[in-house]
DNA sequence: AAGTGGTCTAGACCACTAC
DNA sequence: TAGTGGTCTAGACCACTTA
């Protein structure tokens, strides 16, 4: 039904997206059984391998659990993300089939205090730009992010338009350097009044707090960002394995 | 060669393990090309699907990157070390220079519900052991963890002493298998009354919630654990690099 | 032109679940 | 007995890279 074999994307991703849409629309409730692999073969006219890959993708993202002999069941409609590799928040939202959005909330020129100066590797008092944005997935508020940008080091940043969706792409376009690596801390915090309002939560409700410093090629910090995530709409996911050398 | 089609494990896991062993033995250097899918088909006498799944598993763990038209290459050490590596909570506490401690709070024999059964890959109703422990660093409460253990699969777990500090070591000693990999979700939640009391916090205060499923060699789940961290005393840290697929 | 990984098909057998 | 997911095979075509 409605699959394209030309340029829309892979078949399994189209099947995956169709299922995800069913989940998001509310047709399926938590615990409900999804179509079996055989059902998908019939409904979409694809092979079992393709149908299976779509269901496996849903599982990998934590949306469903699969029980041998029983079926595939909706577990939880949360957004989940894999930390194992560096992806911009925009890429994470996109890769899960949602339409990423952003709303510029504030934009203030300022000067670096000790904390920000250390993170951005600039002198205290150096010019920085503070940008607060509300990030959305399919129009729903997912997180608030406060970005601190070294506008002293990269003057191009002062003129940029921060109502765009992806800051990573903005960095690449305006200063011609690609995002390369990042480090981050993940913790929990109580929502302040302003964050709570943006995320449609109560003040002091728990939020997931991510502090990230991002580097572009040349190992230069380009952004220090603190993000507050709606805990019911977003969880970080990752997979861990033994580091080489200790494996058995 | 040396694959078994009986009881050692899936074919793709055996191929995967053979390749990982080659990597860890040092036969392959950073940037070296691994055997192609076609090579593995010949060498191990498996289908391309099976060979491919082994290589995909290596990529999923960040050990290799795959380039269409070129081949599969061993990732750089920095990429590998930056990717999430599996450490027990005990190791994490130790690496931060604290003296790890543990207090056994509860220990109950029970039966697996749907959620736990799916995570531990056992049947619903199968015997499981629930263990709640309070974890300490230099005597201060850091987190509460609720472990669900497949005592039906590993009867040795029933007799074990859970007042020890490291469950990973306990697993290795009692069942003779090493912890191999894990996956986890990280989110935020409000502290329940019992958790808050153990962590010396107020009820409903925000806590960092980590749900982890740990596997031992043979790819068998050994533990499904939910941990609640004191947000002022613990934050999750990690470093991110470009994904193996896009890395330069 | 040959080789590589990415995708897709159309089958097969198995263990398990539910009726 | 029928249906489910887990694994595996033996092909196929494609876009891409390298020589």
CATH classification of the domain holding B46: 1.10.10.10
CA-based nearest distance A227→chain B, Å = 13
Neighbours of A244 (CB within 10 A): 19
Which residues of A fall within a CB distance of 8 Å from B61?
239, 241
CB spacing of B84 vs A208 below 8 angstroms: no
Which residues of B fall within a CB distance of 8 Å from A80?
185
Q: Percentage of chain B surpassing pLDDT 70?
A: 82
Q: Percentage of chain B surpassing pLDDT 90?
A: 29
Of B41, B58, B74, the last residue of a domain is B74
Same domain, yes or no, for B114 and B83? yes
Q: How open is the CA angle B188-B192-B197, to the nearest 5 degrees?
A: 115
Kindly state whether residue B243 falls inside one of the protein's structural domains.
Answer: no
pLDDT in tens, B21-37: 888 777 787 778 899 99
Same domain, yes or no, for A27 and A147? no
Provide the number of structural domains found in chain A.
2
Q: What is the pLDDT along chain A (248 residues), one digit of tens a residue?
A: 567 665 457 788 888 888 888 887 777 877 788 999 999 998 898 999 999 999 988 887 667 888 778 888 886 544 444 444 556 777 667 666 667 788 999 999 999 887 788 778 777 788 999 999 999 887 889 999 999 999 988 888 988 999 887 788 888 888 888 777 777 888 999 999 999 999 999 999 999 999 888 877 765 789 999 999 999 888 887 776 654 333 33
CA of A24 to C1' of C8 (A): 27
CB spacing of B182 vs A240 below 8 angstroms: yes
Chain A contact probe: residue of B240, B242, B248 with most A CBs at under 10 A: B240
CA of B120 to C1' of C18 (A): 22
How many residue pairs bridge chain A and chain B with CB atoms within 8 Å of each other? 148
* Token pair of B202 as six digits: 């107020």
Of A31, A56, A74, the last residue of a domain is A74
Which residues of A fall within a CB distance of 8 Å from B235?
185-187
Same domain, yes or no, for A89 and A158? yes
Kindly state whether residue B4 falls inside one of the protein's structural domains.
Answer: no
Which domain CATH number covers B117?
A: 3.40.1410.10
pLDDT of residue B168: 84
Same domain, yes or no, for A97 and A204? yes
Of B30, B52, B74, the last residue of a domain is B74
pLDDT in tens, B185-235: 889 999 999 999 999 999 999 999 999 888 887 667 899 999 999 988 888
Work out the average pLDDT over B39-47: 91
For residues A168 and A149, is the Cβ–Cβ distance under 8 A?
Answer: no
d(CA A195, CA B43) in angstroms, rounded, equals: 57
Same domain, yes or no, for B88 and B64? no
Same domain, yes or no, for B131 and B207? yes
Kindly state whether residue A183 falls inside one of the protein's structural domains.
Answer: yes
Same domain, yes or no, for A67 and A132? no
For chain A, helix (H) and strand (E) counts, in that order, are 8, 10
The range of the structural domain enclosing residue B98 comes to 79-237
Owner of token pair 């800051």? A167
CA of B11 to C1' of C14 (A): 14
Q: Which long-range contacts (CB under 8 A, 24 or more apart) does B38-44 make?
A: B40/B15, B43/B1, B44/B1, B44/B3, B44/B11, B44/B15, B44/B18
CA of B181 to C1' of D19 (A): 41
d(CA A116, CA A162) in angstroms, rounded, equals: 20
CB spacing of A185 vs B20 below 8 angstroms: no
Same domain, yes or no, for A137 and A202? yes
pLDDT of residue B58: 82
**Residue A68 Cβ < 7 Å to strand C:** yes
- Which residues contact residue A95 at a Cβ distance below 8 angstroms, ignoring those fewer than 6 apart? A87
d(CA B179, CA A188) in angstroms, rounded, equals: 28
Kindly state whether residue A37 falls inside one of the protein's structural domains.
Answer: yes
CA-based nearest distance B104→chain A, Å = 25
Same domain, yes or no, for B58 and B97? no
Owner of token pair 């003057």? A155
Q: How open is the CA angle A205-A230-B190, to the nearest 5 degrees?
A: 35
Nearest-CA neighbor of A191 among B122, B103, B204?
B204
Which residues of A fall within a CB distance of 8 Å from B207?
188, 206
Same domain, yes or no, for A109 and A176? yes
* Token pair of A166 as six digits: 């992806």
**Between A62, A85, A240, which is nearest B242 by CB?**
A85
CB spacing of A86 vs B244 below 8 angstroms: no
């Amino acid at each position: 039904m409605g699959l394209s074999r030309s340029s829309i994307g892979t078949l399994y991703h189209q099947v995956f997206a169709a299922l995800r849409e069913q989940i998001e629309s509310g047709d399926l409730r938590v615990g409900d059984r999804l179509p079996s692999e055989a059902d998908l073969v019939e409904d979409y006219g694809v092979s079992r391998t393709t149908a299976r890959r779509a269901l496996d993708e849903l599982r990998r993202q934590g949306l469903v659990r699969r029980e041998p002999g029983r079926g595939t069941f909706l577990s939880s409609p949360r957004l989940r993300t894999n930390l194992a590799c560096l992806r911009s928040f925009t890429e994470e939202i996109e890769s899960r089939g949602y339409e990423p959005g952003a709303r510029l909330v504030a934009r203030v020129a300022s000067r670096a205090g000790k904390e920000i100066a250390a993170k951005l590797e600039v002198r205290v008092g150096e010019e920085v730009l503070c940008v607060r944005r509300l990030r959305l997935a399919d129009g729903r508020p997912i997180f608030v992010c406060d970005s601190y940008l070294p506008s002293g080091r990269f003057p191009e940043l002062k003129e940029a338009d921060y109502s765009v969706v992806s800051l990573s792409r903005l960095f690449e376009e305006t200063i011609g350097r690609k995002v390369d690596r990042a480090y981050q801390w993940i913790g929990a915090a109580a929502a302040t009044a302003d964050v709570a309002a943006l995320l449609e939560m109560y003040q002091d409700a728990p939020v997931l707090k991510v502090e990230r410093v991002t580097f572009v090629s040349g190992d230069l910090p380009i952004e220090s960002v603190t993000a507050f995530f709606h805990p019911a709409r977003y969880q970080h996911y990752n997979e861990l394995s033994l580091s080489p050398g200790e494996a058995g």
